[in-house]
Structure 1
C-alpha cells in the first residue's frame, strides 16, 4: 500500500512487520523516531509478542540484544554516532558470538567537535567489526533492506547493520510502498536460531579461546561474510518475487554500460549523483554511477566486473581515514588492482555539508579531464584552512582548531558563563 511517511516511520513499520520478539534501544538523534515508533506499537498492542526493554545506555541496548538473541529471540536495536562508539565492545561481541541481531545505524558524524548531522564516520568506524553493513539510498530501500536483513542475519547467524543517512532519510517524508503482514510472513519465516542457550541442551557461548584455535574461529567469521556475497543477491531475488520490486543486492548500476567514467558512492547521495549524470549525458559525456549496497562484505568481484570498461573511477564518500585518505576508495582500488584505471577519492558531505549538483558537475568535469588530485575534499574552504595553519605556526597558544575555524568564518561559538 502506498503511504506518504517519514523515513523513521517506514523503518519502524518494516521492523514491526518482521515480528521482532525483543526491541531495546537508547534514544540518540537521528534514530530516535524509529524506536519511539516501535515503542508505541508495542505499548498499543499493535506489535504483539514483543518486549520493548528500556535501557540506560547504548552499551546496555546492544548487550540486552545479545542476551535476547542468545536465548533464541529475534532481536532488534538502533543507534547512531557516539551511541555506536559507546557500544563498540558489544558490537564486536555480537559478531564474534555469531548472533543474528539487526541494528539500524542512522548515520551521523562523530565528534569532537560536536556535530549531529549526517556523514558515514560512525558505521565506517565499525566496518571491520564482523557485522554485515548494507546501505540504503532511499526510504523505500531502507524499508525493504530491514525486512531482508532479518532473513540474511538468521540464515548466516551473523548480525547486520542497516545504514541509512541521518536526517536526510530518517526525517524526510517520501512515498513508500508499505507491505502487508501476509507478504512479509511469506518472505520471512519464523526465527529458527542456529544456536540457542537451552538448559536442556547446554552449550557454551562466548568461551575462552586460546592461540591454538583463535585463528580458525576468526577465519570462519570471514568465511561467513564470503557466504553472504552469494546469499545477499539470492535474498534480493526472493524479495522481488514476493514484493515485485528490485531492492537490495550487492551493487546497483546506472548508465554504466558505455561509461568512460564511473562514479561510486553509498547512500542517499546517489540520487544527486544520478541527476548530475543525467545532465552530463545530455551534454554527450559518457558517465555512469555504481552504488554500493553491501559495504561489508565488500563485493570485489561485482565491482570489478561492473567497472571493467571504464577509464576512470571517482569514489565520492562521506568519510575518510585521517592520515591516509578515502576509506571506500581503498577498497575500490583493491577491487580493480592491476588495471590501468585512475581511481580518484573525493571526500564530501562531512558533518552534513550539502553535496550539490553544481559541485558534483564541476568535480566530474575535472575528473574527466584528469585534473583531480588522487584525494580531493569537495568544497573545502582552503582560505580558512590556511589561515588556521598559518596562525598555528606563528602562535604557540593558537587555541582550539574548531573555534578558530568558526571565528574565521564569522560564526564564533557561543560562550556560556
Structure 2
C-alpha cells in the first residue's frame, strides 16, 4: 500500500504525469528526474571472421571491400527484417544491398568462390598433404610449396607459374593474358604494371589462391563492364566473399512471355558473338553452361553471371604452354577439382563450341513452346540441328545469324526492355 499512498498523496493532477509515475514504480522523485526521450540504440551485427572467410586469409580472395561490411554499407537481405542476423554460411550466394552514401541503395550479389563444403575439404587437404595435420595455418602451409616459392622470386607472371591450375582461364595462357591479369588485379591499390613488384607476398598468395579455386572474380576485374564486356561489375571482396552487381539468373525467365524470351535469346547470341570476335582478339569459350551461367539486370540486359567456366584462347599470341606443362599437378591443382581431371587440348576448341552448348542446354528451355506453330517449328528445327553440332557446312556466325533472323521480328519495344528503350522506337539497330 505504501507506493499507492505515496502516489495518491503526491497531489498529481495531470493524468499523463500520473501514468508516468505509476510506470516508474510510483516514485515521484524518479518521475521528476526521468528524461522524456530515451536515445534509440541502433541494432548492429558483429561480423564473425569465420563467416567472411577472413580467418582463412591469405588463402582468400582479398580484403578490398571489408570496410563496407563492417560499416553496414553492404547489408544482406535478412538485415531488412526486425531480427538482425547473418544468413546461413552454407549458401553459395546471397542477395544484398550496397550504398556509397547511406541514402541510395542498390542490389548486389554476394558470392563464395565455391561451397563451404568444398572450401572446408580443400582446407583439410592443404593441411594433411603439406603438413600432415588435420588443421593448420593455411598461409604457412601454402607458402612452403614449390609453386609459391617460384611466385615469390618471379618478377612477372609467366605461363610456367600457372601450369596445372584447373581454371579454364589458364588452360591456354598467353603472356599477354597473364600480363593483363597482373596489370588489372583490383585487390591491390597501385595496379597498372605488368611486373609484380607492386604485389606483396600476401597479394601474390591471394592471387594464386583465387586463380586456383575460381577465376570468376579475376575475369570480372580484367574485362570490366565499363569497357563493354558482358560481365557484372566487380565491387570488391572480403575474405572468401565476392561482391558484384546483381543479376537474376536466366532460369527465372524460362517461363517468360514470348517477346521476352526472344529478346533474351537474341542477347545471348550477341554475347556469344562478342566472345568469339572482339578488338582484343581473345576467343572466349565455355567449358560448361547451365541455367545460372547467364543473368539479367533489372533493365533487361543479359550478362554472363558466372564466368568460372570461361576459357580464353589468345588469337594474337596463341598459347605459350609447352607440351606437358598442362599435366603438371600440385596442391593448387586439386583444391576444388579431382586431381585426375583431364585438360581439354587448346587446339581442340572449335568456333561452334559455346553455341552448341547453349543450343543443347539453354535455348530449348528458354524458347520451348513460346511461339505460334510456323515459327516454333523453325526454332525447334534449328535448335535440334545446332545441338548436334551444325555439321561442317555452317559456321557459328552463319548459324547465329540464321536464328537471329527468326527471332528478331518476335521481340517488342517497350519499357520492359529499358536497356534499349526508347531508342528501339527510332532505330532498327535496337
Do the structures match in fold with TM over 0.5? no
TM-score of the superposed pair, with normalisation by structure 1: 0.26
Which structure is higher in strand share?
1
Higher relative contact order (CA 8 A, sep 6+): 2
Taking structure 2 as the reference length, what is the TM-score of the superposition? 0.26
**Which structure: larger Rg?**
2
